């Protein structure tokens, strides 16, 4: 039996931060990873999507080069070369930052394999490298197993071989006709990228606006920009059924533009971007009494589960599914697990960015949230078209919006649409 001070289950953003910190503090630390070090961010999320978005943005620059006085001859982007760039980016980061040997050299016992809890202080792993079953006994456990794409219950979807944010990176060619289901950050980012790389893209959204967690002004402006770019966006739309036939995937829409009837359309591929589910299957959490809610593992303000020596962080707890939030949670856990004075988590000021073009970034409350909570507020806006640098660079889409308390002047929310909004926030 192997004994540890802390055992971390899941080698994504939260798990890696905590594993390195634990080892540097001289604590005996184990990191159990089912598949590959780096988690969703490196293999199916942040890194490949940003690399794809960069390629798409370059293609768009070339298409619009003549407005800068430069002639171009680009016809159609080469999908194979684009994906080669995406994969080379992933492997460069893996080799430099997320190589398991790097963590082993730091003192972390990295174990590859699937496992489950035997008790609140024991975890069984089928070690894929040694071929042995290992029993890990640990004073503390941290569950950071992440999340996965969650497909809505659309009749016929399972038999159509749909894409999601995990298997989309295995595409061997860019589809001519792509339906994206869901208009959140993933759907909007990937939808725009595929459009710029040659696909005819339709985005279907059940609600009446895109990017529903953003300020209404932001959603409305981005809807206009994306439609002007040539992306079809169907709001208030349900998908009644999908059928695979010789011509592609036959989709029946209801609501939205179909009014009281239905509209049929054929696509080559469907990309599901309509939510995520926590990775908790097979861990035997019910056996040891760890409570799980609709969004994921339930934790208190100290990120402690219902079992006092077991903690959880990252996507698996369902709060703010962002890499930087997972790292922030890991830093809090470092203090709560290894130091005597614990601290509670505070999500009051969480910045985030949707890396579409123009970028969308925010921190704090939307105008509607601020008015509901504080009553009268002051709202200040500035169009990108009034910023000299934006005009000089031909990047005039967007605006800045600041919401402040009318009585104290305290900033309650900041919303940005424009080039490099993520850096500005």
Q: Per residue, what are the HEC states of the chain?
A: CEEEEEEEECCCHHHHHHHHHHHHCCCCEEEEECCCCCHHHHHCCHHHHHHHHHHHHHHHHHHCHHHHCCCCCCCCCCHHHHHHHHHHHHHHHHHHCCCHHHHHHCCEEEEEEEEEEEECCEEEEEECCCCCEEEEEEEEEEECCCEEECCCCCCCCHHHCCECCCHHHHCCCCCCEEEEECCCHHHHHHHHHHHHCCCEEEEECCCCCCCCCCCHHHHHHHHHHHHHHCCEEECCEEEEEEEEECCEEEEEEEEHHHCCCEEEEEECEEEECCCEEECCCCCCHHHHCCCECCCCECCCCCCECCCCCEEECHHHHCCCCCHHHHHHHHHHHHHHHHCCCCCCCCCCCCCEEECCCCEEEEEECCHHHHHHHHCCEEEEEEEHHHCHHHHHCCCCCCEEEEEEECCCCCEEEEEEEECCHHHHC
Token pair recorded at residue 92: 């460069």
| Domains of the chain, residue spans | 2-38+98-149+277-338, 158-274, 358-424
Token pair recorded at residue 400: 């800045």
138 and 7 Cβ atoms separated by less than 8 Å:
yes
Residues of 334-345 as b/e, b for ≥16 C-beta within 10 angstroms? Answer: bebbbeeeeeeb
pTM here is 0.94
39 and 10 Cβ atoms separated by less than 8 Å:
yes
Fold match between domain 2-38+98-149+277-338 and domain 158-274: yes
The fold of the 358-424 domain, in CATH, is Enolase-like; domain 1 (3.30.390)
Look up the CATH number of domain 158-274.
3.50.50.60
CATH superfamily of the domain spanning 2-38+98-149+277-338: FAD/NAD(P)-binding domain (3.50.50.60)
Output the tens digit of pLDDT for each of the chain's 425 residues: 899 999 999 999 999 999 999 999 999 999 999 999 998 899 999 999 999 999 999 999 998 888 899 987 777 899 999 999 999 999 999 888 888 999 999 999 999 999 999 999 999 999 999 999 999 999 999 999 999 999 999 999 999 889 999 999 999 999 999 999 999 999 999 999 999 999 999 999 999 999 999 999 999 999 999 999 999 999 999 999 999 999 999 999 998 766 667 899 999 999 999 999 999 999 999 999 999 999 999 999 999 999 999 999 999 999 899 999 999 999 999 999 999 889 999 998 999 999 999 999 999 999 999 999 999 999 999 999 999 999 999 999 999 999 999 999 999 999 999 999 999 99
């Amino acid at each position: 039996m192997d004994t540890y001070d802390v055992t971390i289950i899941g080698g994504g953003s939260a798990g890696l931060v905590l594993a390195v910190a634990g080892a540097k503090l001289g604590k005996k630390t184990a990191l159990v990873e089912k598949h590959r070090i780096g988690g969703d961010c490196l293999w199916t999320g942040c890194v490949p999507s940003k690399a794809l978005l960069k390629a798409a943005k370059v293609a768009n620059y070339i298409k619009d080069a003549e407005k800068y006085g430069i002639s171009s001859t680009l016809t159609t982007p080469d999908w194979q070369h684009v994906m080669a760039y995406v994969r080379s980016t992933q492997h460069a980061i893996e080799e430099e930052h997320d190589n398991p040997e790097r963590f082993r050299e730091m003192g972390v016992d990295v174990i590859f394999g699937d496992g489950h809890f035997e008790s609140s202080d024991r975890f069984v792993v089928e070690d894929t490298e040694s071929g042995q079953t290992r029993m890990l006994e640990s004073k503390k456990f941290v569950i950071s197993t992440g999340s996965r794409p969650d497909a809505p219950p659309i009749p016929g979807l399972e038999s159509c071989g749909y894409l999601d944010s995990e298997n989309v990176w295995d595409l061997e060619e860019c589809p001519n006709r792509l339906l994206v289901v869901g208009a959140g950050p993933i759907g909007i980012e990937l939808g725009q990228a595929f459009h710029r790389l040659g696909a005819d893209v339709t985005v279907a959204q059940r609600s009446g606006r895109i990017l529903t967690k953003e300020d209404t002004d932001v959603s409305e402006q981005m809807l206009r920009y994306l439609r002007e770019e040539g992306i079809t966006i169907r709001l208030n739309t349900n998908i009644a059924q999908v059928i695979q036939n010789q011509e592609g995937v036959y989709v029946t829409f209801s609501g939205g533009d179909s009014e009281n009837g239905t509209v049929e359309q054929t696509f080559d591929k469907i990309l599901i971007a309509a939510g995520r589910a926590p990775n908790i299957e097979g861990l035997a959490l019910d056996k040891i009494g760890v409570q799980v809610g609709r969004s994921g593992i339930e934790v208190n303000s100290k990120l402690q589960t219902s079992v006092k020596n077991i903690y959880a962080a990252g996507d698996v707890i369902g709060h703010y599914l962002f890499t930087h939030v997972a790292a922030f949670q890991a830093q809090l856990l470092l203090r709560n697990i290894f130091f005597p004075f614990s601290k509670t988590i505070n999500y009051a000021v969480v910045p985030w960015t949707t890396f579409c073009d123009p970028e969308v970034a925010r921190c704090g409350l939307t105008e509607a949230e601020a008015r509901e909570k504080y009553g009268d507020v002051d709202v200040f806006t500035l169009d990108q078209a009034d910023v000299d640098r934006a005009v000089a660079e031909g990047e005039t889409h967007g605006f800045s919006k600041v919401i402040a308390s009318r009585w104290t002047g305290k900033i309650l929310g900041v919303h940005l649409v424009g080039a490099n909004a993520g850096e500005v926030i």
